[in-house]
Amino acid sequence: MKCLVTGSNVKVLGKAVHSLSRIGDELYLEPLEDGLSLRTVNSSRSAYACFLFAPLFFQQYQAATPGQDPLRCKILMKSFLSVFRSLAMLEKTVEKCCISLNGRSSRLVVQLYCKYGVRKTHNLSFQDCESLQAVFDPAVCPHVLCAPARVLGEAVLPFPPALAEVTLGIGRGHRIILRSYQEEAGEGARHGLGQGAEMGWDGAGPRFPPVAVPTDSTVKAMVTEMSIGGEDFQQLQAQEGVAITFCLKEFRGLLSFAESANLSLSIYFDGPGRPAIFAIKDSLLDGHFVLATLSEPDPHPQDLRAPELQQPAPQLQAHSTPHLDDFALDDIDSYMIAMETTVGSEGSRTLPSTSLSPGFQPHCSPGSHSEEEDDTEPSTVPGTPPPKKFRSLFFGSILAPAHSPQGPSPVLAEDSEGEG
Amino acid sequence: MWCELEQENFFSEFQMEGVSAENNAIYLELTSENLSRALKTAQNARVLKIKLTNKHFPCLTVSIELLSVSSSSRVVTHDIPVKVIPRKLWKDLQEPTVPDADVSIYLPVLKTMKSIVEKMKNISNHLIIEANLNGELNLKIETELVCVTTHFKDLENPPLASENASQDRNSEQMAEVHIDIRKLLQFLAGQQVNPTKATCNIVKNKIVHFDLLHEDVSLQYFIPALS
């Protein structure tokens, strides 16, 4: 494989790597016929990100030497990022960037051709791996929002950088509402209503996740809400009252890229618990971030919920972020974005199903209490996984393409949460 | 730190009902960082409203309508959790009284003071402020190896309030107080604009009191002496 990037595209590539680094610790690099794909997934598989750079993005693009199978590799994100760490330096001094991989060497070579004849060569070790793909299809999502990245950037500006999760909803009069989501831990947390009459919402407003109110006087966090008119959006196809909660930190990764490239960002989503797809696209590249969303807890009698908006049981739960240490992971099997890994050149990225498939035994942190701990049963799977697909990320790269595990496999040892 | 703002100078609408007619006040406790962050988003605000609300717990709701290029309005709302302070604790929160100062002097340009104190902080945490009634203010740090003093001259002194003072006092005599330099730096770092009036009152070896007047706001900062 050999790819040559020149001029300002080097910085674009660097920015994409920075965005991906917000999600996962490993970068999957795969040269495809329709371009070079860079993918990553986070450790709890609740976030997946992918950038695809078309051949035209490169001055020279050779996916594979003729006669050879295309190579796929998995690199430590930290290593790859270190090449592109200083975006200012990339912009000022780097003229060309060449990424090459030949089957014989065990190193991915990234060379930066800089001004004044300086050439920096990085030899990065990698692992052969299977192709990483998430199963998602924007076309299946009933709700779509599309806005210039600048608008969304301004929308998240009032939120503190440290805020983990945010709820996005559609309010009355087609206003788009973003509200900081507070994860309330602590014994005896009770569910309360989301913001009620004060904000002018009634039952027809967005159903924000109930605010859990600690009964002891622990430090309560500030709640910030931003409301934007639908006119600022290029596309708004969503019911009033719909709301999803996702990880803001992960979203910011894509948002900063989209802002710097001056692109529009589309959000495809369904209901709470279903993954939300954030997409950007231009003629030379496209990017997709798929983030799991928080599912709703059991309905409470006080909830002002119009009957038609009730979620059908069983509820698929989603854990939107691995960052919160106290978060009890009830049924990790249903938290995952469905992932598919294949041997061979099945390069198609989107498949017509959005199924969330079970993977592992539940892993519960002892003692911690969360609003999602309820009595819903483990998720029902809409259909068993097709024979060729299997979970491989936790099992390493042992491949058995002909069959899949018969049921959930026990987790033998799990990485501790949190990125390094 | 004590700061007072006259509401008429800031708000076009102000409605408040205190605990009772005789105690027409409300005392709230909140995390200042929350309020500061909320107000930061109001830089391009058309309208700002602050309300005391109760959303499962008492909140100061700051509601900001932003200037927007598009036809639709943008509204940011911050709910800042507050604690309502019961009336029996109000007496602890009154404006501190300062004993009569030994020396009062007008401060030099705060920015200059800040850059000097910042450099001094690297040498020692223990700062001596001294001033006299002759318009001289010194900032001193002393360590085993080095002594650094910055002299400010030709500052003015405000007219003395107390009667028994001036005649006996030698106007050249310095009144000094030893303080933690970091506290002084915290105070100086927070000043964005030069105040209309800035006075430094020193009570020998006890306390230094900074009294600033910006157009509509009075700000007082008390730093006790190191024991």
Q: Is B44 an interface residue toward A (CB < 8 Å)?
A: no
Q: How confident is the model at residue A404 (pLDDT cuts 50, 70, 90)?
A: very low
Write down the pLDDT at residue A102.
Answer: 75
Long-range contacts at B47-56 (CB < 8 A, ≥ 24 apart) = B52/B26, B52/B28, B52/B82, B53/A198, B53/B79, B55/A195, B55/A196, B55/A198, B55/A211, B55/B79, B56/A192, B56/A211, B56/A213
Chain A residues with CB under 8 Å of B79 CB are 195, 222-225
Q: How confident is the model at residue A187 (pLDDT cuts 50, 70, 90)?
A: very low
* pLDDT at A115 exceeding the cut of 60: yes
Minimal Cβ distance to B37: which of A160, A192, A196: A160
Dihedral sign computed on CA atoms, order A148, A152, A157, A158: positive
Rounded Cα–Cα distance for residues B14 and A37 (Å): 58
Write down the pLDDT at residue A198.
Answer: 30
Share of chain B above pLDDT 70, in %: 96
Closest by CA to A94, choosing from A70, A111, A77, is A111
Q: Which fold is adopted by the domain B103-159+170-224?
A: Proliferating Cell Nuclear Antigen (3.70.10)
Rounded Cα–Cα distance for residues B114 and B109 (Å): 9
* pLDDT at A335 exceeding the cut of 60: no
CB A97 within 8 A of CB A10: yes
Q: Do B81 and A192 touch (CB under 8 A)?
A: no
Most B CBs within 10 Å, among A184, A195, A220, A236, to test the B interface: A220
Size of interface A-B (CB pairs under 8 A): 66
* pLDDT at A411 exceeding the cut of 90: no
| All structural domains of chain A with their residue ranges | 2-128, 138-182+224-294
Chain B residues with CB under 8 Å of A154 CB are 74
Which CATH class for the A138-182+224-294 domain?
A: alpha beta
**Residue A33 forms beta bridges with which residues?**
none
| All structural domains of chain B with their residue ranges | 2-8+24-92, 103-159+170-224
- Collapsing DSSP to helix, strand or coil, B107 comes out as coil
Q: Give the predicted TM-score (pTM) of the model.
A: 0.69
Task: For residues B23-44, give the mean pLDDT.
Answer: 87
**Window from A324-333, B48-57, B123-132 with minimum mean pLDDT:** A324-333
Task: For residues A162-172, give the mean pLDDT.
Answer: 91
Closest by CA to A80, choosing from A56, A59, A108, is A108
What is the distance, to the nearest Å, from the Cα of residue A3 to the centroid of all Cα atoms in its chain? 26
CATH 3.40.190.10 fits A2-128, yes or no: no
Output the six-digit token pair for A370: 């969360």
Q: Do A227 and B75 touch (CB under 8 A)?
A: yes
Q: Do B56 and A226 touch (CB under 8 A)?
A: no
Rounded Cα–Cα distance for residues A269 and A167 (Å): 12
CB B83 within 8 A of CB B75: no
Most A CBs within 10 Å, among B44, B56, B57, B83, to test the A interface: B56
Write down the pLDDT at residue A387.
Answer: 35
Minimal Cβ distance to B34: which of A195, A222, A228: A222
Minimal Cβ distance to B81: which of A154, A220, A224: A220
Task: For residues B77-95, give the mean pLDDT.
Answer: 88
Nearest residue on chain A to B83, alpha-carbon basis: A217
Rounded Cα–Cα distance for residues A342 and A400 (Å): 10
Write down the pLDDT at residue A372.
Answer: 37
CB A212 within 8 A of CB A191: yes
Higher confidence at residue A274 or residue A380? A274
- Rounded to a whole number of angstroms, the distance from the CA of B42 to the nearest CA of chain A is 9
Minimal Cβ distance to A223: which of B31, B79, B83: B79
Q: Do B38 and A160 touch (CB under 8 A)?
A: no
Residue type, A261: A
CB A171 within 8 A of CB A150: no
Q: Is B158 an interface residue toward A (CB < 8 Å)?
A: no
Instruction: Examine domains A2-128 and A138-182+224-294 and report if their fold is the same.
Output: yes
Rounded Cα–Cα distance for residues B55 and A192 (Å): 10
Q: Do A229 and B74 touch (CB under 8 A)?
A: yes
Q: How confident is the model at residue B168 (pLDDT cuts 50, 70, 90)?
A: low
- Collapsing DSSP to helix, strand or coil, A17 comes out as helix
Nearest residue on chain B to A190, alpha-carbon basis: B56
Share of chain A above pLDDT 90, in %: 40
Share of chain A above pLDDT 70, in %: 62
Neighbours of A230 (CB within 10 A): 17
Minimal Cβ distance to B80: which of A222, A227, A228: A222
Output the six-digit token pair for B211: 């009294």
Q: Report how far apart, in Å, the C-alpha atoms of A215 and of each of A95, A185, A186, A190 are.
A: 59, 11, 9, 8
Mean pLDDT of chain A: 71
Rounded Cα–Cα distance for residues A292 and A41 (Å): 12
Output the six-digit token pair for B142: 């002393």
Rounded Cα–Cα distance for residues B184 and B225 (Å): 11
Helix/strand/coil (H/E/C) assignment for every residue in A177-216: EEEEECCCCCCCCEECCCCCHHHCCCCCCCCCCCCEECCC
